[in-house]
Amino acid sequence: MAQMYDHGGGVKSIRVPIPDNPLGHTLVYVVDTDRGPVLVDTGWDDPTSWGTLAEGLAACGTGPGEIHGVVITHHHPDHHGLSGKVRDASGAWIAMHAADAAIVRRTRTTRPDRWFTYMAAKLTAAGAPEDHVAPLRTARRPSTMPGFTPAAPDREIVPGELLDLPGRRLRAIWTPGHTPGHVCLHLEEEHPAQLPGHGRLFSGDHLLPGITPHIGLYEDPDDTTVTDPLGDYLASLERIAALTPAEVLPAHQHTFTDARARVGELLTHHEDRLTDLLTLLATPLTPWQLAERMEWNRPWSQIPYPSRNIAIAEAEAHLRRLGFV
């Protein structure tokens, strides 16, 4: 039986599993509107996940064919993966911020080998040793890869505006950082249990109760603009705290109430980390060298290959924030 939870006030959630991933599941929210249920995120594109979503919707008294619209917090496959299947089943629209929609368009039109070539050049520039870069040059080049054919959205989520959800007040809050087009969605309605604060916030991956989201680079083979994703993220956190939502409904883990306190913890965490890195950077380091010396959830020697690439992007994001790149 799918795990469905009723949050009250016409909002339910379904725990959709993410296969082989320590995060475990994505919380897909089902928001009732006058025109039918609208989903906030959809989950990973996998038969088991799809089965769980369909069962969960049945437990909510609806089904994939009844969905009116899909609101996507950001383009990552654990959020946007099943959007295409939901649209195929129901004719629902899919809405996404323009910056993430651009990534989806690029992913759909860029051949994987272009991506491997781009990453090999990037890693070399970041100081990665040849034995780390070589596999990208010799990798099997499949014509399709998971996440390389995400569904193209039909609607744009415009920051600051209410979404077209008949009977509901759901406002888009642009929160770049984790991705350039990440949005949180503020349900500007009284909390169903009258908790103090202003409505409820669907926070995607931006604000999670027990983990810090990955802040790397907005990787784009076609754009050489030097962006500052960590700076964007910290500014976006402040923006969310100012909303003072009564409850936060994140896309992973569990709901929580004191958004301002959680934002404070995350800001302190990043401040401390930046201070530590400044000490390390008394000697100039490449992003690779910095990643080797940063604190991760396990020693560098035990970090698997794909996670090392993510770690290097995170090191480079910190170098940019500190003005070293």
Residues that bind Zn ion (CB under 5 A): 76, 78, 205
Closest distance to Zn ion from the beta carbon of 205 (Å): 4
What's the closest the beta carbon of residue 73 comes to Zn ion, in angstroms?
Answer: 8
Q: How far is the CB of 39 from Zn ion (least distance, A)?
A: 15
The least CB distance from residue 213 to Zn ion, in Å, is 6
CB of 78 to Zn ion, least distance (A): 4
In the bound complex, what is the minimum distance in angstroms from residue 79's beta carbon to Zn ion?
6
Dihedral of alpha carbons 236, 227, 72, 310, sign: negative
Nearer to Zn ion, 78 or 228 (CB): 78
Contact 319, 287 (CB under 8 A): yes
CA 310 to chain centre: 14
Give CA–CA dist 278/252, Å, rounded: 32
Tokens of 46: 């996998």
- The Cα 65–Cα 87 span in angstroms is 8
Q: Where are the beta strands (DSSP E) in 158-232?
A: 170-174, 183-187, 200-204
Classify burial at 59, counting beta carbons within 10 Å of its beta carbon; exposed 0-12, middle 13-18, buried 19 or more.
middle
Nearer to Zn ion (CB atom), residue 18 or residue 241: 18
Nearest CB to Zn ion, comparing residues 74 and 200: 74
Which residues, including other chains, have CB under 8 Å from residue 52's CB and lie 6 or more apart?
A: 2, 14, 15, 16, 17, 43
The tokens of 88 are what? 């195929």
Choose between 263 and 277: whose C-beta lies nearer to Zn ion. 263
Q: Nearest to Zn ion by Cβ — which residue?
A: 76
* Shortest distance in whole angstroms from residue 124 CB to Zn ion: 26
* DSSP 8-state symbol, 182: -
Q: Which is nearer to Zn ion, 15 or 76 (CB)?
A: 76
The count of other CB atoms within 10 Å of the CB of residue 125 is: 12
Question: CA 209, CA 138: separation in Å to the nearest integer?
Answer: 40
Between residues 128 and 266, which has the closer beta carbon with respect to Zn ion?
266
Question: Between residues 26 and 62, which has the closer beta carbon with respect to Zn ion?
Answer: 26
SS3 108: helix
